Structure 1
């Protein structure tokens, strides 16, 4: 609370368990208010049914200061309590900070990729649409990445069978919505493999002369 008796509240959301920056969202700040109204929608993409059953949403309210922020209160919502396809409203009391149990990760989660694949037999073309990625790892010093996707139809028949999306700056949840077309006869499809990789621009050397694995990406 500020000296004027008000606060500048904002809300932080964190999907638990999960430490990735992409599992955290932040609302806008409402200045000088003890009864803030946000009317703001924040979206988590790519939540699976398995995650819905085991994860919870930590909701923390903070008072923004010139330096840092003061804790006002928090609460948690188990995702399994949310009915599918229905918007549910909650009236919740804020509580003191709750301890977060440590979880030993089975393996490092590197994010998720949403795409669609369609073959048009009349055109003899394979269409690959890269829609979005979610919960990518932050590779830069800022905690973000500059991600892009590379798609290859192997074994390569031509340079046209290797394509890239645009680069999305400073995000761990990039939206691409880019469609790539690969000309390939229907009879050759069983021999082909679709290789898709997500890379951080600036985290690799963009050259065929790059050593080791970085060079083999090209």
Structure 2
């Protein structure tokens, strides 16, 4: 009996020992976890981010050397002095340290400083100096330097052409562009990229990557187009569009290069080419075209029926002259858009037939605060759709738009159709 009693006492002591060890392990794990969290927080606070900050203001770059430093915007004093010397007179300079609490810049009034030499000069001497200094030849030279050199010289595009006879593929290598103009007046740089289209069918559309803040971008990108026989190369035309990316609005068009491939011999191998970038040639007609619209106001159901019937004499929106139009319809109530519709795309035609009906519910009685907008756009998969023309119908519209609106208000439940001239988008 004695050994059985001793073993029972031994088993009774085991739970207490296990409880002590588990409590000690829990305290140790919690303290270790807290220590690891504190170390991570301290390392994150002292760590410099390996990336550049996103633009807060357009044209102002933010490169923080240390988040804990007082100057979070800009660079050192030496670099600031260099930037001030490099900035042109007509460019906009933003001093971010002089902003108030709301982030606004204080208004500065420019004072005219009069020098003592000007006060002593007589009117006759001033007029004589003016005649001697300003002449018709000098004016011509000044205007030619400012307008022709700045506008005509848009840079040079370097590329190469090659045909792979084994794979029956046409190869285009966009190498670089040099001497591009600065599209951002604040930072005096551009964010260029290139869109290339093979005309006249526009089946093959490609674009390069965007290179940030450079006027001499080196793309070095190769595009291979399969399924193009060598016999058809002579009938093709390459269209390069050089653009500058804009985060806050539509991308700026720098210029274009048009290369007809007629007479080019690619049988001997790769051909290196360079062409001067010219100003974009937007072939606009005398008008923006016309749109046939039918409207009917149902006063009993308080609905407006809109039928987009036809469009004619639409202008050529690109070099090939083959636009793919469609119509976007926006309904406004008190200058706020409450509904939108759009038609199908009609391929390669300046005279499109839509015949599409839309019914809009009017939120108020009558059409006094209602207006409707028609946007005729050119569909383009490779980039943003360009607006060909615009039309607004409403009580405050002028011309045929106001007359058409007045007629549907006076004669409800009657379908009234009219042609309208489109204005610039």
Question: TM-score, with normalisation over the residues of structure 2?
Answer: 0.25
By relative contact order (CA 8 Å, sep 6+), the higher-ranking structure is 1
Is the helix fraction higher in 1 or 2? 2
**Normalising by the residue count of structure 1, what TM-score does the alignment of the two structures yield?**
0.47
Bigger Rg, which one: 2
Q: Which has the higher strand share?
A: 1
